[in-house]
Structure 1
């Protein structure tokens, strides 16, 4: 399908709920490959979403607008039978993309996700206190990536791989800054589960809790030990939390 790729089988009657997973800035669908292989929980399938310009779609031009990045995913979601539930999960940049996906689906009158899971991200409209932006020098951006973790040291040491990582990061950071400047935050009519790390410098717990203002439905907030990439450090516990939360809304 143009603009969207995943390796899961297409949904059918009685299919488990699909959780579409959106990556962090500079990341790809590979961030969630291990989630696909996780043994359980029953009735839930994690579907990594590959965005243009990275991973298996590296030969495609990177998106200049958030709507462009989401075009294929939105087409996939809009084409699903209304009776087949789904959820959206995003970490860091992916949380912003997941929220925007729900917002655009609502505006188009399409079915909304049973659950929106936003992880390691301040909500739209929250003050940017960390200064992580696309016009940082290479040295400054590499230093920030090292301190945040999530990018293997060997990748940052390899000249060719480092160049690719920095280029993708700049595209994503500029994408987010342009989006934040144009979009007015508005609540969505689906439940939100907000996840945070207690030592995350980009999205501390008081900011992940602020997602409460962006839903007209139920809201849950969970904080885990760790920094910005706590999501993968506590994958088992978080998958169980998602399963348990889905069980209350589906």
Structure 2
């Protein structure tokens, strides 16, 4: 049975630890590699990135050090989807390497991302209220005041990356397959918009609608991991 490395990037305010619980549910043929951004988790003492390019270049170094001619795939949720897309693009342009599949979760394709106010510059209480409106953090985190004090600086740093991100629409396409997943009640996009991911590849593009909102993956792990296992191992 073939071996595949699965690199994962979390949502805004999230950590690589978010994906550790996936390991026991993934096929033994899949090596789970959660990627940690600076300023959180085991990199809590490091400075936040100034822009999206800094994040992408940093993560590219992590990924490049783990590539060994075996097959690999990417998973990104929400903000992680944008970084994953740009990371995979840069990897192809610089090293001519491409994943066998990219899993994009909870985020519309970059050409139709809606530009709104830059919320990272708001006072903390207004910022958190905006996060609640967007459904941009799990409820269990938002309810914990002390935890929010720790998470808010990370969230603001991540939303700065999102707020300042600029997509270059130059017709670039991948050749690998894309799997896009969305919660049916996600406020951040509609299924019709998610189908636009098909424009980003010469390969196949499959869309999954799962029950739940922006953080549908908290309650749909079995379904998600079955999709990943089927795509990477048994297809």
Equivalent residue number for residue 28 of structure 1 = 15
Q: Deviations over 1:130-163 (max 9, x none)?
A: 757323442333224345264354665424x323
The CA distance in 1 between the partners of 2:8 and 2:55, in whole Å, is: 14
Does the CA contact (< 8 Å) of 1:78 and 1:110 recur in 2?
Answer: no
Instruction: Pick closer, same or farther for the CA change 1:59–1:79 going to 2, 3 Å.
Output: closer
Query: How well do the aligned residues superpose, as a CA RMSD in angstroms?
Result: 2.4
Q: CA deviation at 1:99?
A: 0.6
Matched, 1:241 2:227: yes
Equivalent residue number for residue 125 of structure 2 = 139
User: Aligned to 1:193, what secondary structure does the other structure show?
Assistant: strand
Q: Deviations over 1:81-124 (max 9, x none)?
A: 55311100000000111111110011113311111100000111
Equivalent residue number for residue 87 of structure 2 = 101
Matched, 1:128 2:142: no
The gaps in structure 1 that reach 5 residues or longer are: 1-13
Q: 2:39 aligns with which of 44, 53, 56?
A: 53
Q: 2:145 aligns with which of 128, 141, 158?
A: 158
Instruction: Pick closer, same or farther for the CA change 1:86–1:23 going to 2, 3 Å.
Output: same
**Structure 2-normalised TM-score?**
0.87
The gaps in structure 2 that reach 5 residues or longer are: none
The CA distance in 2 between the partners of 1:237 and 1:60, in whole Å, is: 35
The CA distance in 2 between the partners of 1:107 and 1:57, in whole Å, is: 28
Matched, 1:168 2:154: yes
Equivalent residue number for residue 224 of structure 1 = 210
**Between Structure 1 and Structure 2, how many residues are aligned?**
233
Does the CA contact (< 8 Å) of 2:182 and 2:208 recur in 1?
Answer: yes
Equivalent residue number for residue 110 of structure 1 = 96
User: Aligned to 2:28, what secondary structure does the other structure show?
Assistant: coil
Matched, 1:215 2:201: yes
Equivalent residue number for residue 5 of structure 1 = none
The CA distance in 2 between the partners of 1:228 and 1:132, in whole Å, is: 20
Does the CA contact (< 8 Å) of 1:36 and 1:47 recur in 2?
Answer: no
Instruction: Pick closer, same or farther for the CA change 1:113–1:158 going to 2, 3 Å.
Output: same
Does the CA contact (< 8 Å) of 2:36 and 2:43 recur in 1?
Answer: yes
Q: CA deviation at 1:184?
A: 3.0
Higher RCO (CA-CA < 8 Å; seq separation 6+): 2
